[in-house]
Amino acid sequence: MTVSKIVLGDKMEQLTTSLDVLFILLGAILVLFMHAGFAFLEVGTVQHKNQVNALVKIMSDLGVSTVAYFFYWLWRRLWRFSRFQYRWPVNSSND
């Protein structure tokens, strides 16, 4: 295998990883907008005196899901690192 094919393979791997991260971030942004939309929908359908309770319920749901996602991310990162499947980025002079 030539050096250019190895460099091209590394660049494709970096591109694939970057696109995966972009896809997950866009999905997370859409979920946050979805939470805001449901908040507006629920606040509009309840009586005025119950609006605060509805917003507190939605914000607590958002908080719990954020913490759960963080711990899932942390577990996956530690599992990959413990299994030696995570490759640390290496600065090379071929860039």
Handedness of CA 15, 19, 25, 29 (dihedral sign): positive
Query: What's the pLDDT at 92?
Result: 56
Angstrom distance (rounded) from CA 41 to CA 69? 24
Residue 51 has pLDDT above 80, yes or no: yes
Angstrom distance (rounded) from CA 35 to CA 31? 6
Query: What's the pLDDT at 2?
Result: 63
Query: What's the pLDDT at 85?
Result: 55
- What is the mean pLDDT of the segment spanning 45-69? 89
